[in-house]
Amino acid sequence: MSTVSAGFRLMRAGWVLVREGVVAALPGEELSGLPKFGWRLARLFTRRRALAYERSDRLAKAVVRLGPSYVKLGQFLATRPDVVGNDMALDLAMLQDKMHTFPRAEAITAIEASLGRKVGDLYAQFGDPVAAASIAQVHAADTVHDGIATKVAVKVIRPGVRRRFFQDLESYFLAAHLQEKYIPSSRRLRPVEVTETLAQTTKVEMDLRLEAAALSELGENTRHDPGFRVPSVDWERTGRDVLTMEWVDGVKMNDIAGLATAGHDLKTIAANLIQSFLRHTLRDGFFHADMHPGNLFVEANGTIVAVDLGIAGRLGKKERRFLAEILYGFITRDYLRVAEVHFEAGYVPRQHNVAAFAQAIRAIGEPIHGQPAETISMAKLLTLLFEVTELFDMAARPELILLQKTMVVVEGVARTLDPAFNMWKTAEPVVGGWIAGNLGPRGMMIDARDGAKALLTLARQAPELAARTDRLSREIDLMAEHGLRFDETTARAIGKAEARYSRSGRLALWVIALTLVYIAWKLV
């Protein structure tokens, strides 16, 4: 029955996308056969008024109708241009996570259930909601310490949101399985694996204790940084369903007129934003991955305060070196070094030629050097680079794609503040400084120290590794002698799973077919 209900929810989502003109806005002229017929049919069923909107506006309206889980799905797919294409990824990245508020009484119930205390014991005053997103909403409140009142922001999980998300996830998994089964060309994109990643990130985002931990970590990393900070967390009033943090007084970064009226230097803010993001990425390997202007405030002294850290990105040391050397290589036009970094990091298979790869990278870099520096987009550069790497069998890496998506958004915010923003001039001190500190003599000493620690750890584990190797050798010998065997329980379970999967697929297809017949009959 869950498969049937998932099929109905999936059909409703498809119908909303058709009616709001999202399907009609896709480049269907390039299609042929049945897909092109479906695209033309979708255009006939599109609402007349929807045709007047841009594709991004159609997408936003459809997602609002579908509900909060589809907002998160859209934002997640914005990080996977390899799946939805670059143009659609940019449209999805612009989705604003704004929803209707839910009653204050429901928020109080959620807080008391999560923290096990009465709201009156936790807060001296608890106000109405001031902002609402797909997963949670924010209330203004006051706490009292030693007789001093402090204003705080209280983020509360939306009631029933987990149940709704898990129901919609069933639909996403059904769509992914059907796609893999009936569209062989899509299997390289691994839609089921993509859906599993979405499920995991959503579970993390719906536990506000983890967001509080991310705020705490980023706060420690940036406590000495000029012009950037995050709100402090009130851990006593934080649980799975509620996050209490410092109230931020400032102007939102999407209010350009408000920033100018407050007397802020927009060019300085743009430079500070980019340098802060690069500093977090390269120095710390931990960055805010949802830095759209609605999540960024500017305080009276010009300090940028980032909120809503439900989505965060991490880069290992290898990935940080990869990013820094790529950017610096393009700045200095050292395309061979950029290519070598890809091979050293193991991102491009060894069967490819380094010189040929460097030639492909030169095709990206040379046109850029012919442009004025203020028109060069680092985000566009990374997008073109990832397109070229696909030609050389570089597999999609989630951490780099999330970085690319965030850089697209951050650079877009900077150019909104300063249309003549020079990305390279702004980035060079941070990127160059990181390279000097980490790839020069000091970096070599750090690498040597880390290598010595790794060797010591390996030496300590040597007896256990030897025992494991001995057991593995004996098991391989037994397999070679007797063959690989399944026990009866395993074989029976495999048979049941295959039968259930086949029945579910056929049942879902029948439900879809009958629903389409019903819709066509109603329209006639």
Catalytic residues: 290
Residues 84 and 186: beta-carbon distance below 8 Å: no
Task: Output the six-digit token pair for 457.
Answer: 């750890």
Residues 440 and 446: beta-carbon distance below 8 Å: no
Q: Where are the beta strands (DSSP E) in 56-124?
A: none
Q: Scan for tokens 């990091």, then name that residue.
A: 345
Chain Cα centroid distance, residue 424: 25
Residues 164 and 67: beta-carbon distance below 8 Å: yes
Residues 83 and 216: beta-carbon distance below 8 Å: no
Q: In what order do the strands lie in the sheet with 136-145?
A: 125-132, 136-145, 148-157, 242-246
Q: Which of 215, 172, 222, 168 is nearest to 196 (CA)?
A: 172
Cα distances (angstroms) measured from residue 52 to each of 46, 56, 88, 471 = 11, 12, 18, 68
The angle formed by the CA atoms of residues 411, 304 and 377, to the nearest 5 degrees, is 10
Dihedral of the alpha carbons of 385, 386, 388, 394, in degrees to the nearest 10: 130
Q: Scan for tokens 């149940």, then name that residue.
A: 163
Cα distances (angstroms) measured from residue 85 to each of 81, 180, 248, 387, 402 = 5, 18, 37, 10, 14
The counts of H helices and E strands in the chain are 21, 10
Task: Please name the amino acid found at residue 307.
Answer: V
Q: Which of 247, 316, 236, 259 is nearest to 282 (CA)?
A: 316
Q: Which of 259, 178, 278 is nearest to 506 (CA)?
A: 178
Cα distances (angstroms) measured from residue 389 to each of 83, 187, 364, 396, 403 = 15, 19, 11, 9, 16
How many CB atoms are closer than 10 A to CB 17? 23
Q: Scan for tokens 């934003």, then name that residue.
A: 273
Contacts of 450-455 with CB under 8 Å at 24 or more apart are: none
Dist. CA 298–CA 302, nearest whole Å: 6
Give, rounded to a whole angstrom, the gap between the first and last alpha carbons of the chain.
30
| Beta strands 304-306; 228-229: pairing state | parallel
**DSSP 3-state of 156:** strand
Q: Which residues pair with 154 in a beta bridge?
A: 139, 244
